[in-house]
Amino acid sequence: MSVITSQRVLFLVFCRSKRLISIVNEERNWSGTTVRSVSVIYVNRNVLLKPHPSRLQSWNEKVFYFQQPTAQKNVSTTVYEEIDMELSGAHILVDGLKREGVEYIFGVNGGAAMPIFDALYDETEVKLIPMRHEQGASHAADGYARATGKVGVALATSGPGATNLVTGIATAYMDSIPMVAITGQVMTEFIGSDAFQECDVIGVTRPICKHSYLVKSCDEVADVVAEAFHLARTGKQGPVIIDIAKDAQRAETIFQHPDTVDIRSYKPQVNGDPAQIAKAAALIKEAKCPMLYAGGGVVLANASEELRKLTLNTQIPITVTLMGLGAFPETHPLAMEMPGMHGSCCANYAFTDADLVVAIGARFDDRVTGDLGKFAPKAKKIHIDIDPSCIGKNVPVDVPIVGDAKNVLTELNKLVDTADIDPWRNQIQEWKQKYPFEYEQKGNKVMPQYVIEKIYEHYSDAIVVADVGQHQMWAAQYFKFTDPRTWLNSGGLGTMGFSLPAAIGAQLGCPDKTVVNINGDGSYIMTIQELVPAITMKLPLKIFIINNMYLGMVRQWQELFHDKRYSAVDYHDNPDFALLAQAFGATGLRVEHPEDVEPALLKAKGINDGPVVIDFIVDEEENVFPMVPAGAGLGDVIRGLS
């Protein structure tokens, strides 16, 4: 087929302007080919990756006309995409984010990250959400990840921008949340010179991230982005930092995104050892007083279905930790509710008497176990975890199983049957009936627990984002979660200020869900500035503040263990949050009487063009019970003060 027919062919060639000369020079190699006319315009780089001909026409077109003898078809237009495409590091980064399926980036702009923000300026696939503080950006990315299971992305500049991200990165790390945090870094030639807004972010974040990359050349960007997302979302998930020097953002290079990521030193074990799983099944069969103890790992592994199956098949009572709430429905008769410091007496007594504890994606945290010497003293322990370093860290384990909770439970479910443990189940039911979560109504005060009960009544389908403190515990106790990823909170690091920005991330990730932010008066004011982007984006967040005018959890400890010496916890000088919300431009309501709680909640339901803030002025000195004092055994739980 070497019939040479002379044809006029139109080529659209997208390339960097400095490549033009070489393309035209190429002509010499195509014997008999003549370039008839060349017209060049500058098009926005954004268009380069995904050319829309319709858009191009409006720019007079950037076209090459070639007479090319080898053209087979009567082609009039050929789009050469990415021929020797040179892009800047910033654009390669953004392009990489798109390939990873990123929808939102939460960021605050600043000097050393400007090229990245510039690349995002007219980007439509990846939406940039400008936050008001970098901590808000990292929490929003975190909330998005918790609600959706996808990787959250935060972006900040060097130095203070990066250090402000740190709390959010540490929060995500403690709870194994998949996140990629991108920070600008000063120019490579200035690194190490104490330059303006320079900070060794890799050094600062080393103990609080899964991995980190310092990118000093634009040639590394494509690979680093692919690796970072791979690490964030596989194995034990967690935050990964990409610190990218400003000159690497600016410099241009020819690049290729890797199709697959293969890190020779990183091979997480996702399938449990069959022999170990068989051993676990045998222990489950023998046990007379077994219990399941499931944690956040079940939610992260999307293994709720498998956990339900295991519980229902075996009919073994189950306790789900603060981080796992929703992995198993709290409304089910087998659910013993949350264990630990402020957990149910039932779950804590069960640990104390059990002869077998099956831990699934839970890490025997000190807030769960209390005094380790008194924790589940009669029980053999099976521990299923993706992270081998978690197994045996706090509690000796009889049957360790390293693997992804979903895979391991699927295999385990094939080997187990209904357990013959009626006396134990009856004992659990007795505890459950005898010691429910309860509180006393004090006079005509708004009791915080009552507010939570009412929120549950009216928003049972919502995603609840709690902050840290007493309100968090009350929400965990009185809101009955039935589905995974509907309860978001900073369980590991206990970061106050987490919830409002996290709620923003959750709402963007789940636009069809109602997002309820249960906040405290102390935690709300820590990141209150993030009300601004919520209002700008008209997010219909329901922000409910359980306001006791104190740093309540600390005050409770001071009351119980420090002779009521209320050092630095009195927040009576806080502003009126309802008026403040109005000043921001949101709807603000204040509730001071029990009879106003429900009408306010109903009113909030009807407002969907922006956030609603309800300031519930609750009883100031109500305490969270039950309580296992720090250092005590779970059997020594204080059920209440009276």
Please check whether residue 184 is in contact with residue 117, taking contact to mean a CB–CB distance below 8 angstroms.
no
User: For residues 50 and 438, what is the distance between their CA atoms, to the nearest angstrom?
Assistant: 59
Rounded to the nearest whole angstrom, what is the least distance from the CB of residue 265 to other proteins in the complex? 4
Instruction: Give the interface with other proteins as residue ranges (CB under 8 A).
Output: 202-203, 206-207, 210-211, 214, 231, 236, 263-266, 387-389, 391-393, 396
Report which of 434, 477, 490 is spatially closest to residue 343, judged by C-alpha positions.
477
* CB closer to other proteins out of 359 and 462: 359
* CB closer to other proteins out of 95 and 220: 220
Answer yes or no: 454 catalytic.
no
Rounded to the nearest whole angstrom, what is the least distance from the CB of residue 145 to other proteins in the complex? 19
Residue 19's Cβ-count burial label (10 Å; 0-12, 13-18, 19+) is middle
Which structure tokens are listed for 82?
A: 């990415």
Report which of 350, 338, 412 is spatially closest to residue 379, judged by C-alpha positions.
350
Please check whether residue 591 is in contact with residue 600, taking contact to mean a CB–CB distance below 8 angstroms.
yes
In sequence order, the 6+-apart residues with CB closer than 8 A to the CB of 28 are none
Active-site choice (196, 288, 440, 564) = 196
Active-site choice (7, 67, 197, 582) = 197
Residue 329's Cβ-count burial label (10 Å; 0-12, 13-18, 19+) is middle
Active-site choice (553, 556, 625, 627) = 553
Rounded to the nearest whole angstrom, what is the least distance from the CB of residue 1 to other proteins in the complex? 47
Residue 139: CA count within 13 A, CB half-sphere: 31
* CB closer to other proteins out of 220 and 619: 220
Taking the CA atoms of residue 409, residue 411, residue 413 and residue 419 in that order, the dihedral angle to the nearest 10 degrees is -100
* CB closer to other proteins out of 200 and 559: 200
* CB closer to other proteins out of 372 and 579: 372
Answer yes or no: 196 catalytic.
yes
* CB closer to other proteins out of 213 and 524: 213
Active-site choice (134, 330, 337, 622) = 134
Answer yes or no: 67 catalytic.
no
DSSP codes joined into one string, 363-429: ---HHHHSSGGGSSTT-EEEEEES-GGGTTSSS--SEEEES-HHHHHHHHHTT------HHHHHHHH
Please check whether residue 517 is in contact with residue 465, taking contact to mean a CB–CB distance below 8 angstroms.
yes
Rounded to the nearest whole angstrom, what is the least distance from the CB of residue 170 to other proteins in the complex? 12
Active-site choice (62, 150, 246, 381) = 246
Rounded to the nearest whole angstrom, what is the least distance from the CB of residue 263 to other proteins in the complex? 7
Q: For 151, which DSSP code? A: P
Answer yes or no: 616 catalytic.
no
Which structure tokens are listed for 414?
A: 């094939």
Rounded to the nearest whole angstrom, what is the least distance from the CB of residue 234 to other proteins in the complex? 11
Answer yes or no: 553 catalytic.
yes
- Residues marked as catalytic: 134, 196-197, 246, 553
